[in-house]
Amino acid sequence: MGLAAILASLAFLSLLFISIIGKGYTAFWQTYVRLDVHLSADQLDRTELETADYPGIVKKTLRSMFPEVKSRGDKRKLYALISSGAAFQIREMVLEDPDLVGKTVSVWVPADDDVDMLVKGHIERDVPEEARRLTDKQLAWVDALTGEGRVEKRFNRTLFTHGDSREPELAGIWGATVGSFLTLAITLLLSFPIGVASAVYLEEFAPKNRWTDLIEVNINNLAAVPSIVFGLLGLAVFLNFFGLPRSAPVVGGLVLTLMTLPTIIIASRAALLAVPPSIREAALGVGASKMQTVFHHVLPLALPGMLTGTIIGMARALGETAPLLMIGMVAFIVDIPGGFTDPSTALPVQIYLWADSPEKAFVERTSAATLVLLAFLIVMNALAVVLRRRFERRW
């Protein structure tokens, strides 16, 4: 029975990993289409390269590739095969090298997410046309492109270099990753010193009285308060009372600091408690003051344990979503945040946002983002384990 229970929970674990990896690994590849774009000089005025009609150029290229397409509806369906990011890509290419005007260049542009899904086998060809995201004609065009060797799956760099987007093929997690990083930086900067300081006071200096008892009970209770309540606190105090900006990593960092503090304090106190009293007595014996004893001798010995606790606390903070929803870090933000007060999202919030999106292509991207998040967490936890092994000391 007991063994079955353990095996059941491990089976859940493997099911979770298998399903997420199985759904997510394809997102690291993205379908690209090669277009031979003629950058004609009459469409691109050299003086107005910034505002030229790049979508028009892409459309013209597509029309020239499929001259038989005549009706307006069909044309629109043809244009829908290529991502709207293609025009931006060509624009940037031209702006970088204006000499390209007048030449014909061959570029790989991202395909639309429906085409991507088709190439990856997520859209079935034998279901009736109405139940499919792509029409029969569109299928034929994609097949024609594939036949010419113009369709290729490549490593999805967009996923790791771009911010969020409404178009799955242009959406990336870099913006969310930067947001998470900024938030965690604030959390670490605040929670580590404050946590260690409180632990040192409570363990080494505090007299045993009602006041310190109250603090202790408080910390234990805070450790078990639901994270969303911290979000309510952040909303009411930091946003409404202090008027800090919404959606900013600095507020997220403050809220997560309050949330991780109890974890760090409890771990740090355990680490201090593990330092044997003989160390303190020896230091006091050679004439160190109480403060010198603690800061010169006890704290360095307890530091690895404290760091382990801090890393675990940080890992929890990285995966935390609910309080960030409360302080508005769920906004749709395309730009990569550049500072602590810029609006941004965080990695787990990005997962939540994408999981809500109806497009099928977002499912695999959500899974991919989850994989990235889990990878970060595994690295952090492994770091904690290594640290513990390396500095573990039996007295």
Partner 1 sequence: MSPYSLMILLLCLSSAAYYLGKKKAFAVSADVGGARQLHSRPTYYGALAARWCGIPALILFAGWLGLEDHIITGMVVSELPETLQNLPADRINLLVNDIQNMVTGNIVSREVDDVMRAAADHYRHLQNISSAALAVLVLAVGIGGMLWVRSRIVPSLRARNHVERIIRYLLIFCSTIAIFTTIGIVLSVLYEAIRFFHAVPVTEFLFGLKWSPQMAIRADQVGSSGAFGAIPVFAGTAMISAIAMLVAVPIGLMSAIYMSEYADRRFRDAAKPLMEILAGIPTVVYGFFAALIVAPFIRDAGTTIGLDVSSESALAAGLVMGIMIIPFVSSLSDDIINAVPQALRDGAYGLGATQSETIKQVVLPAALPGIVGGVLLAISRAIGETMIVVMAAGLAANLTANPLATMTTVTVQIVTLLVGDQEFDSPKTLAAFALGLVLFIVTLLLNVIALHVVRKYREQYE
Would you state the structure tokens that stand for residue 123, as one six-digit string? Answer: 């859209």
Q: With respect to partner 1, which residue has the nearer C-beta, 145 or 315?
A: 315
Contact stretch for partner 1 (CB under 8 A) within 27-35, 38-46, 72-80, 319-327: 319-327
Cβ of residue 28: shortest distance to partner 1, in angstroms? Answer: 18
Segment near partner 1 (CB under 8 A), from 89-97, 127-135, 162-170, 227-235? 227-235
The interface with partner 1 within residues 137-196 (CB under 8 A) comprises 193-194
What is the phi-psi region of residue 66: left when phi exceeds 0, alpha when psi lies from -120 to 50, beta otherwise?
beta
Q: Which lies closer to partner 1 via its Cβ, residue 305 or residue 328?
A: 328
For 186, the token pair is 């604030």
> Hey, which residues between 13 and 42 contact partner 1 (CB under 8 A)?
13, 15-16, 19-20, 23
Least distance (Å) between residue 233 CB and partner 1: 5
Q: Which of 264, 352, 361, 372 binds partner 1 (CB under 8 A)?
A: 352
Q: How many angstroms separate the CA atoms of 111 and 169, rounded? A: 7
CA distance 89 to 101: 15
Written as one letter, the residue type at 250 is V
Would you say 170 or 353 has its CB closer to partner 1?
A: 353
Amino acid at 231: G
Q: Find the shortest distance in angstroms from Cβ 338 to partner 1.
A: 13
Segment interacting with partner 1 (CB under 8 A) among 32-40, 53-61, 116-124, 350-358: 350-358
Binding residues among 191-220 for partner 1 as defined by CB under 8 A: 193-194, 197-198, 200-202, 205-206, 214-215, 217-220
Q: Please report how close the Cβ of residue 92 comes to partner 1 at its closest, in angstroms.
A: 25
**Cα dihedral 230, 235, 236, 238 in deg (nearest 10):** 90
Interface with partner 1 (CB under 8 A), residue from 299, 318, 333, 372? 318
Specify burial of residue 9 (Cβ count, 10 A radius: 0-12, 13-18, 19+).
Answer: exposed
Residue in 158, 293, 308, 321 binding partner 1, rule: CB under 8 A? 321
Which uninterrupted H or E stretch holds 160? helix 158-161
CA–CA separation, 170 vs 320, rounded Å?
A: 26
Binding mask 228-267 toward partner 1 (x if CB under 8 A, else -) reads: xxx-xx-xxx--xxxx--------------x--xx--x--
**What's the Rg (C-alpha) of the chain?**
28
Segment 274 to 313, residues that bind partner 1, using CB under 8 A: 289-291
> Could you give the 3-state DSSP secondary structure of residue 173?
coil
What distance in Å separates the CA atoms of residue 305 and residue 275, rounded to the nearest whole number? Answer: 10
Which tokens is 106 given? 């061959």
